[in-house]
Amino acid sequence: MNKQFLKAGMLGLLVAGWLSQAAMAQSDPTGKRRVTSTYAITNATVFKAPGDPGSKATILIKDGVILGVGNSLSLPKEAKIIAGDSLFVYPGFIDGAGTMGIAKPKDVERPKDFVSSNPADEIAGITPWRSATDTYTAASTQVDDWRKAGFTLSQVVPDGGMLPGKTALVLLGDGKTNNFLKLNAALAANYRSSRGMYPATLAGVMAKFRDIYQNTSLVLDHERLFASTAGVKRPQATPTQLAMMPVVQKQIPVLFTAGTELEIRRALALQKELGFKLILTGLENYESVIGAIKASGTPVLIKLQVPDDKSIKAQKADGVTEATKAQYARVKESYDKALKQAAQLEKAGILFGFSTTDAKAADVQKNLKTMMDNGLSQKAALAALTTNPAAILGVSGLVGTLEKGKLANLVLTTDTLFKEDAQIKHVIADGYVFDYEVKKKAIKAEATSAKPEAASNAVIVEGVWEYTSETPAGSSGGEITLKRENGVLGGTITYDDPSGSGKASAPIKNASINGKALSFEFDVAAGGMSLTVTISGEINGKTMEGSLSVPQMGSFPVKAKLSSPSQAN
Amino acid sequence: MKKHIYLLAAFLGLGVGMTHAQIQKGSVLIKNATVLTVTKGNLESSDVLVQNGVITQIGKNLTAPAGVTAIDATGKYVMPGIIDAHSHVGLDVVNEGSAPITSEIRMKDVVNPTDIGIYRALAGGVTVSHAMHGSANVVGGQNATLKHRWGSMDPADVIMQDAPRTIKFALGENPTRVHGRGNGIQPRSRMGVEAVIRNGFNEAIQYKKAWEKYNLAKTQKGNTLTPPAYSERLQTLADILDGKIIIHCHSYRADEIYMLINVIKDFNIKKVVFQHTNEGFKVAPEIAEYTMGASVFADWWAYKMEVYYSTAYNAAILQKNGAITSINSDSAELIRHLYHEAGKTQRYGGLTDEEALAMITINPAKQLGIEDKVGSIEVGKQADLVIFEGHPLSSYAVPQMTFVDGVKYFDRKVDREDQRQWVAATEMVEPIFLRANEEAHRCMQDVDKYFEAFQGAFANEKH
């Protein structure tokens, strides 16, 4: 063994490795081909399914499939290790219905002899033969955003008129590969009428839906007769009827977008009348209709958003009349009710997931928290992100939980999910690993030192910490010196110099301590490049355990011991 | 033993579910009022007992059964709930104005029970309204008869489920403007309107025959006949021919009214009511003989060319000629004081109190085919009642309480400031301007949106 090599230490290795990837991978000019498709997340806290209290385990995945979850897995040599010691692993989230990566198809040109009272289906927004995949772009930034929020699978819904086409289940894996899990998963439907032609209104759309459905049913009768009896004229199904057949035969559901209570009731009424399989999506206001949803046994996908509080914030305390105050109170009542809706679905025992349509990926955590602050349980929230949509989409055997044989869709977080400071560090979708920078919270006013009664319980963070870090390349370490100046936590850190000899030192930035949780960043200069390394961990007395993460590289366990405590103020 | 308990629980569970879906019915005793029965004269100092939504006794000195609230109506008047045979209140869509015949459209699909217009109508004593498709098409959609059970979020609760089917037809300027001038297709003239109707019915006859032939053949062994295409549009027209649906036809001029009478005679259709019917007074005997009468405005005209030749005596002339005549609103505003509108037939035509009140109660009930259920105060009828301070035909009449199926949905004494059923969680509360939405709930609603390119040409005609 080369001593120099050992001395270089873990950071040096990582940085050198990172630099060399681009420079030396001769067989892959792009430098982007991954080294292996086998990964092991070792010794992580794994939550296999909603309600699982979590336990330490290693997860081995290969080629997009989970090979095992357990404590005695033998890891193959080609497995790239993701040290999970300080990580929490959940099943990848599932978007029950969304439009990420979907573009609107081009409008069909109207013919010269266009008749607005009886337009061709294609012009009137009736295109059930289309597929969402026709206009889907896996490499879209929307897909990136939702993946970053923990989503690994989406039912993408085509854009268009009242029957825009069939949905598809797509994995949010590598943008360059075919990510289709299931084509023609459901028929998308909504109340969108056509401008200046039949059907021009909601009433027309409902009538047209019945017409298409009934005539498809008759064409099927015709086909059966044709198949069984000689001398029957040839059936001539239209493209619309051909595409409606799996719906009428109850092979696939109708995914009906219904945001409001009345829209939901109308879809339920149509379903009751015609008998198709139904999934409701895009639910926004549904408080009064929960009983009807429950009675119908229809699964629902609610919008992954909560009403904005602009109108609540705009309410003035002074200078308004009693009448206005009464109006304020009604809006507030509606607002409070709206926030509790998800919890009521849980209470009613309705199978529900989320739809990302109209929602913002960056607000997922915040919106989920609001729902949970209003009564939704953690277990139900996680189920609505994983097992419920898997069941609704008919892919429970493939996704939704962390089990041997399921698809390698995982979310790795820095803390238990739904905790305020929990951040998504990696998302594994279709076996592809995506790393995300874990941001540090801004330094908060130090509650621990500000409050005298809390001072005695305050964790000691200031002082010199000796740390070691375990990596596949061996162990490395150095000293972390932390101290508070003018209430701001800062200091320096030493580490094995990536250039191969001795220690290097860097100032600590963005340091914060929140209860026992310490985190900070520092920059490492290597080969003319600068990398921001993050260390976060939990302090227990004089020890700290956590992780050290390097962008694009992953994260590694770190341990530290307080060697020379300084006095707390 | 255990099994029995399970069965009982299952039964009870089912029972609870069914009760939930049922419409609320009330019991009440209204004491010592002047009861205007409309069909059986006026009863001084009398009581009306309602049990489980139905009028069970009318008389003097009735006692309230246990658990039934008694209301002292001394000095007040009780009349049957007012019925508006032409309204667009409680609808999210009025016109599917995209084809000359849209009989497949169902207004029941687009009923909105939270429309504040329903409550306002209740405050004017209206308990039943005929929520109609608009007049953009020659044959419009199938209407919904509503019972104003305010407070439910479920459209099924405000639809009068035991009312017969009705459909909207429209003659004259509206359909020719929308389809002929607006879209360059038939009908462009009144002749075209007639042709559209006749062609529609003839097609429906063919459609019906084709289905009868197929239904007969498909039970035979070795059948090779295939199913005809389904068309709810033609099926609905066939149902009209079979007497299953009452036509409510928007009309103004005598010639077009007489035209439709000829058409229905040719197709052996009996159930037709004319709406608006401003020139009905010219063909009153014919309307009386061949139709279910006319539903008119008290004194509203001259809003477009075909509505100039009009008179406030129209209702009285129709009535005196034996036509069933009702007074309607076609407006979310007029619906609030139809009792005033009915009173105008006394100023213009000298109708009796009973005749005038019949115009907004039993007569519209007949035109909607619900006269056996509502429209008068009689034992066995549904308890849709209004208590008035002052005689309802007086200019000073003020409705005090309105009941539907014995349930009180309006009470002037406990009328909240804000009666909205639903408020958006994101509503920005803005200062209130006291200005009615004049465009709301009119016959030509949604048509402007549809033909906005032509809007300039269409002035502001709405009926």
Answer whether residue B453 shows pLDDT above 50.
no
Q: What is the DSSP string of A200-212?
A: -SHHHHHHHHHHH
pLDDT in tens, B281-318: 999 999 999 999 999 999 999 999 999 999 999 999 99
Taking a C-beta distance cutoff of 8 angstroms, is the pair B82, B397 a contact?
no
Nearest to A308 among B93, B106, B426 (CB): B426
Nearest to A207 among B95, B106, B226 (CB): B106
Mean pLDDT for B423-439 is 73
Answer whether residue A242 shows pLDDT above 70.
yes
Please give the pLDDT value at position B450: 60
Taking a C-beta distance cutoff of 8 angstroms, is the pair A128, A167 a contact?
no
Please give the pLDDT value at position A503: 81
Tokens, residue B126 = 């209206």
Question: In angstroms, what separates the C-alpha of A271 from chain B's closest C-alpha?
Answer: 13
**Residue reference for tokens 């509606």:** A334
Pairs of residues, one from chain A and one from chain B, whose beta carbons lie less than 8 Å apart: 148
Residue with the bigger pLDDT between A316 and A41: it is A41
- Comparing A226-240, A269-283, B436-450, which segment has the lowest mean pLDDT? B436-450
Taking a C-beta distance cutoff of 8 angstroms, is the pair A565, A541 a contact?
no
Answer whether residue B104 shows pLDDT above 90.
yes
Mean pLDDT for B173-200 is 95
Answer whether residue A539 shows pLDDT above 90.
no
Nearest to A204 among B105, B155, B156 (CB): B105
Chain A residues in contact with B90 by the CB 8 A cut-off are none
Q: How confident is the model at residue A177 (pLDDT cuts 50, 70, 90)?
A: confident
Q: How confident is the model at residue A554 (pLDDT cuts 50, 70, 90)?
A: low
Q: How confident is the model at residue A512 (pLDDT cuts 50, 70, 90)?
A: confident
Mean pLDDT for B419-446 is 75
Please give the pLDDT value at position A537: 86
Please give the pLDDT value at position B457: 44
Indicate yes or no: CB of B98 within 8 angstroms of CB of A206: no
The torsion angles phi and psi of A50, rounded to 5 degrees, stand at -55, 135
Nearest to B98 among A199, A215, A266 (CB): A199
Residue A88 β-bridge partners: A45, A413
Residue with the bigger pLDDT between B349 and B430: it is B349
Nearest to B425 among A261, A307, A326 (CB): A307
B96 touches chain A (CB under 8 A): yes
Q: How far apart are the two ends of chain B, measured CA to CA in Å?
A: 68
Please give the pLDDT value at position A547: 81
Please give the pLDDT value at position B14: 35
Indicate yes or no: CB of B109 within 8 angstroms of CB of A326: no
Indicate yes or no: CB of A201 within 8 angstroms of CB of B95: yes
Nearest to A266 among B98, B109, B428 (CB): B109
Rounded CA-CA distance A220/B370 in Å is 40
**What pTM was computed for the model?**
0.82
> Peptide bond before A158: cis, by omega within 30 degrees of 0?
no
Rounded CA-CA distance A171/A179 in Å is 5
Indicate yes or no: CB of B110 within 8 angstroms of CB of A202: yes
CB burial readout A287-321, b (16+ within 10 A) else e? bbbbebbeebebbbbbbbbbbeeebbeebeeeeee
Q: How confident is the model at residue A495 (pLDDT cuts 50, 70, 90)?
A: confident
User: CA nearest B222 in A: which residue?
Assistant: A229
A220 touches chain B (CB under 8 A): no
Question: In angstroms, what separates the C-alpha of A203 from chain B's closest C-alpha?
Answer: 6
B210 touches chain A (CB under 8 A): no
B107 touches chain A (CB under 8 A): yes
B12 touches chain A (CB under 8 A): no
Indicate yes or no: CB of A262 within 8 angstroms of CB of B425: no
Residue B179 DSSP code: I
Chain B residues in contact with A323 by the CB 8 A cut-off are 417, 432
Chain A residues in contact with B230 by the CB 8 A cut-off are 211, 214-215, 217-218
Chain A residues in contact with B222 by the CB 8 A cut-off are 229
Q: How confident is the model at residue A32 (pLDDT cuts 50, 70, 90)?
A: confident
A297's CB contacts (< 8 A; 6+ apart) are: none
Please give the pLDDT value at position B143: 98
Please give the pLDDT value at position A429: 97
Indicate yes or no: CB of B446 within 8 angstroms of CB of A116: no
Q: Tell which A residues from 389 to 448 touch B, by Cβ distance under 8 Å.
A: none
Tokens, residue A327 = 């109006």
Tokens, residue B146 = 């509503």
Nearest to A311 among B100, B112, B427 (CB): B427
Indicate yes or no: CB of B155 within 8 angstroms of CB of A262: yes
Answer whether residue A524 shows pLDDT above 90.
no
Answer whether residue A568 shows pLDDT above 60.
no
pLDDT in tens, B226-243: 999 999 999 999 999 999
A335 touches chain B (CB under 8 A): yes
Q: In this structure, is the dihedral angle defined by the CA atoms of residues B33, B37, B43 and B44, taken in order, positive or negative? A: positive
Mean pLDDT for B84-98 is 97
By DSSP bridging, strand A300-303 and strand A424-429 are unpaired
A308 touches chain B (CB under 8 A): yes
**Cα atoms found within 13 Å of the Cα of residue A360, Cβ hemisphere only:** 8
Instruction: Using a pLDDT cut of 90, give the percent of chain A over it.
Output: 64
A567's CB contacts (< 8 A; 6+ apart) are: none
Nearest to B96 among A116, A203, A229 (CB): A203
Nearest to B457 by CA among B49, B176, B129, B130: B176
Nearest to B140 by CA among B52, B36, B251: B251
Answer whether residue A343 shows pLDDT above 80.
yes
Please give the pLDDT value at position A548: 81
A329 touches chain B (CB under 8 A): no
Give alpha helix (H) positions in B303-435.
314-320, 338-347, 353-358, 362-368
Task: Look over chain A and give the mean of its residue pLDDT values, rounded to a whole number.
Answer: 88
Indicate yes or no: CB of A202 within 8 angstroms of CB of B185: no
A233 touches chain B (CB under 8 A): yes
Q: How confident is the model at residue B435 (pLDDT cuts 50, 70, 90)?
A: low
- Comparing A419-433, A485-499, A543-557, B138-152, which segment has the lowest mean pLDDT? A543-557
Please give the pLDDT value at position B449: 58
ipTM: 0.91
Please give the pLDDT value at position B378: 98
List C-alpha distances in Å: B359 to A75, B39, B97, B194, B353.
Answer: 89, 12, 30, 29, 10
Indicate yes or no: CB of B20 within 8 angstroms of CB of A291: yes
Task: Look over chain B and give the mean of its residue pLDDT values, rounded to a whole number.
Answer: 91
Q: How confident is the model at residue A454 (pLDDT cuts 50, 70, 90)?
A: very low
Answer whether residue B183 shows pLDDT above 60.
yes
A209's CB contacts (< 8 A; 6+ apart) are: A162, A163, A189, A270
- Comparing A171-185, A364-378, B11-25, B83-97, which segment has the lowest mean pLDDT? B11-25
B434 touches chain A (CB under 8 A): no
A333 touches chain B (CB under 8 A): yes
Mean pLDDT for B170-183 is 94
Question: In angstroms, what separates the C-alpha of B283 from chain A's closest C-alpha?
Answer: 34
A317 touches chain B (CB under 8 A): no
Chain A residues in contact with B133 by the CB 8 A cut-off are 203
B343 touches chain A (CB under 8 A): no
Q: Tell which B residues from 171 to 190 touch A, by Cβ distance under 8 Å.
A: 179, 183, 185
Answer whether residue B6 shows pLDDT above 70.
no
Rounded CA-CA distance B129/B85 in Å is 6
Mutation for B interface: A112, A116, A283, A312, most B CBs within 10 A: A116
Chain A residues in contact with B422 by the CB 8 A cut-off are 261, 334
B141 touches chain A (CB under 8 A): yes
Please give the pLDDT value at position A528: 61
Answer whether residue A530 shows pLDDT above 50.
yes
Residue B78 β-bridge partners: B35, B387
A295's CB contacts (< 8 A; 6+ apart) are: B17
Indicate yes or no: CB of A196 within 8 angstroms of CB of B107: no
Secondary structure of residue A239 in the 3-state scheme: helix
Indicate yes or no: CB of A289 within 8 angstroms of CB of B153: yes
Answer whether residue A448 shows pLDDT above 80.
no
Chain B residues in contact with A117 by the CB 8 A cut-off are 98-100, 179, 183, 185
Please give the pLDDT value at position A1: 43
User: CA nearest B113 in A: which residue?
Assistant: A262
Question: In angstroms, what separates the C-alpha of B459 from chain A's closest C-alpha?
Answer: 19
Instruction: Using a pLDDT cut of 90, give the percent of chain B over it.
Output: 85
Taking a C-beta distance cutoff of 8 angstroms, is the pair A468, A479 a contact?
no
User: CA nearest B184 in A: which residue?
Assistant: A115
B425 touches chain A (CB under 8 A): yes
User: CA nearest A264 in B: which residue?
Assistant: B154
pLDDT in tens, A146-166: 999 999 999 999 999 999 999
Nearest to A440 by CA among A342, A549, A348: A549
By DSSP bridging, strand B245-251 and strand B165-170 are parallel
Nearest to A87 by CA among A567, A554, A533: A554
How much is the CA Rg of chain B, to the nearest whole Å? Answer: 24
- Comparing A246-260, A552-566, B441-455, which segment has the lowest mean pLDDT? B441-455
Mean pLDDT for B84-100 is 97
Indicate yes or no: CB of A338 within 8 angstroms of CB of B425: yes
Question: In angstroms, what separates the C-alpha of A218 from chain B's closest C-alpha?
Answer: 6
